């Protein structure tokens, strides 16, 4: 028996989204995951604004992905204007981005904890200890970025405030204290995932797809040719009511839909051979918490940030040069592209975010999944729908 299901408001995810499912005998034959959040028009809002305001404005796209947008935006403006950033400032940005990675990844674990730990006492114990780690990463963001949420210290040209060695040493001491807890939580989380898979009767390939992977770097973000990206509108992909309701675009890399995020980084930069299902996506995201903390410690141990970290050159360009800024966000590769005129005003702005890239990957991963289990696939990608429509 064939039927069509339409689900709006996917719980335990960020932002309002929907699922369109073609189901036969209880199994998804075709599925589409999409955004229903109204477009706010940040790209249009930025036109004619001074380029130095771009990191400030774009960090308001989302309260979860704020620092990653500020970093990608600043790097895009710097690329367009040919501004050299002090190497220590780039390293400090990397630390901020990795702190946000840990902060967001653990928030995702809290959000889905009810799936993993049905018993209230066990769940609350897990959440309390997760919040201890998030408190530390929040303090790190506030200390280095100026605020937990919007990090005003991230500026075009670098970082506006130096960091005294005494502060850096204090952060390193805190990392030593918190790292054993992060390892403990990793083991507990992965055990919870294993138990959930057994309880729900899911196999290792549940939620698999055959799409290629996309990422630019393991930790920070490398230059990328923006011309490799093309877009399709919902009107090109859907029939009927979805043409009118879907609010996101669909980016393609080299003409293909791709998956970005923790698994892509493992595959492309560590030679990881994926099993294919979404279970490993949960585990690899949790593993990135440990790796991010280790990288933060490595940077803080080996570098000093008490000198000038800000190239204050006012950004201008020729109106034609496209500057591309890349940051490997918690959910995958985040890209900003900008053109500036000779007065330093923005003439073009485009944003491509990880969840936007992953929407087709999520849709493909729904094929062959029992209709009663589709939300488990969606949650594994930790979608940030507000970012996806910016």
Length of the chain, please? 390
For position 95, which CATH number holds? 1.10.645.10
70-124, pLDDT tens digit by residue? 999 999 999 999 999 999 999 999 999 999 999 999 999 999 999 999 999 999 9
Residues in the annotated binding site for Ni(2+)? 65, 384
What mean pLDDT is predicted for residues 218-246?
94
Annotated binding site for Fe cation: 65, 387
Cβ 220 vs Cβ 327: under 8 Å: yes
Q: What percent of the chain has pLDDT over 70?
A: 100
Q: Does residue 2 carry a pLDDT above 80?
A: no
Question: What's the CA gap between 145 and 92, in Å, rounded?
Answer: 9
Angle of CA points 35, 46, 162, to nearest 5°: 100
Q: Could you tell me where the DSSP H helices lie in the chain?
A: 42-45, 54-58, 66-81, 87-111, 113-116, 120-145, 165-200, 234-237, 242-245, 262-270, 279-302, 354-365, 374-380, 385-389
Task: Please tell me whether residue 333 adopts helix, strand or coil conformation.
Answer: strand
Strand, coil or helix: 349: strand
Q: Quote the pLDDT of residue 201.
A: 96
Binding-site annotation, residues for Mg(2+): 43, 62, 351, 390
Question: Does residue 1 surpass a pLDDT of 70?
Answer: no
Q: Compute CA distances 233 → 6, 237, 255, whole Å.
A: 20, 7, 14
Q: What is the mean pLDDT of residues 285-308?
A: 98
**Tens-digit pLDDT profile for residues 329-354:** 999 999 999 999 999 999 999 999 99
Give the total number of structural domains in the chain.
1
87/309 Cα distance (integer angstroms): 8
Report CA Rg, the chain: 21
Contact in structure between 247 and 389 (CB atoms under 8 Å): yes
- For 380-390, what is the mean pLDDT? 95
- Average pLDDT over all residues of the chain: 96
Mean pLDDT of 170-175: 97
What phi and psi, each to the nearest 5 degrees, are found at residue 338?
A: -145, 150
Q: Is the pTM here over 0.75, yes or no? A: yes
State the pLDDT at residue 23.
96
Q: How far apart are CA 70 and CA 59, in angstroms?
A: 5
CA atoms 329, 334, 339, 345: torsion sign: negative
Binding residues: 43, 62, 65, 351, 384, 387, 390
Three-state SS for 352?
Answer: strand
Quote the domain boundaries for residue 301: 2-389
Q: What pLDDT score was predicted for residue 12? A: 84
């Amino acid at each position: 028996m064939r039927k069509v299901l339409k689900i709006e408001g996917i719980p335990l995810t960020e932002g309002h989204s929907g699922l369109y499912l073609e189901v036969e005998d209880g199994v998804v034959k075709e599925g589409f995951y999409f955004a229903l959040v109204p477009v706010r028009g940040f790209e249009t809002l930025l036109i004619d604004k001074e380029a130095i305001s771009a990191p400030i404005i774009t960090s308001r796209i989302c309260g979860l992905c704020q620092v990653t947008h500020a970093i990608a935006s600043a790097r895009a403006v710097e690329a367009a204007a040919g501004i050299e950033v002090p190497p220590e400032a780039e390293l400090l940005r990397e630390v901020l981005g990795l702190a946000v990675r840990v902060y967001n990844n653990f928030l995702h674990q809290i959000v889905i904890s009810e799936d993993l730990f049905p018993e209230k006492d066990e769940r609350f114990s897990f959440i309390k200890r997760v919040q201890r780690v998030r408190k530390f990463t929040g303090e790190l963001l506030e200390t280095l970025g100026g605020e937990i949420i919007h990090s005003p210290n991230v500026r075009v040209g670098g970082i506006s405030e130096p960091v005294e060695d005494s502060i850096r040493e204090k952060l390193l001491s805190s990392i030593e204290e918190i790292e054993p807890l992060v390892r403990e939580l990793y083991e507990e989380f992965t055990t919870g995932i294993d138990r959930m898979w057994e309880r729900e009767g899911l196999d290792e390939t549940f939620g698999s797809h055959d799409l290629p992977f996309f990422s630019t770097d393991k930790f920070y973000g490398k230059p990328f040719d923006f011309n490799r990206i093309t877009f399709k509108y919902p009107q090109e992909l859907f029939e009927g009511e979805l043409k009118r309701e879907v609010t996101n675009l669909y980016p393609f890399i080299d003409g293909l839909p791709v998956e970005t995020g923790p698994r892509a980084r493992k595959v492309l930069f560590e030679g990881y051979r994926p099993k294919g299902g979404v279970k490993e996506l949960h585990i690899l995201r949790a593993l990135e918490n440990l790796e991010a903390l280790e990288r933060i410690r490595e940077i803080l141990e080996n570098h000093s940030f008490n000198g000038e970290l800000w190239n204050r050159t006012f950004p201008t360009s020729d109106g034609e040069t496209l500057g591309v800024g890349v940051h490997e966000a918690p959910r995958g590769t985040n890209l900003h592209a900008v053109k500036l005129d000779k007065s330093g005003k923005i003439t073009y702005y485009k944003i491509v975010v990880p969840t936007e890239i992953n929407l087709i990957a999520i849709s493909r991963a729904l094929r062959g999944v029992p209709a009663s289990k589709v939300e488990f696939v969606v949650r594994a990608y930790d979608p940030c729908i507000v970012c996806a429509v910016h």
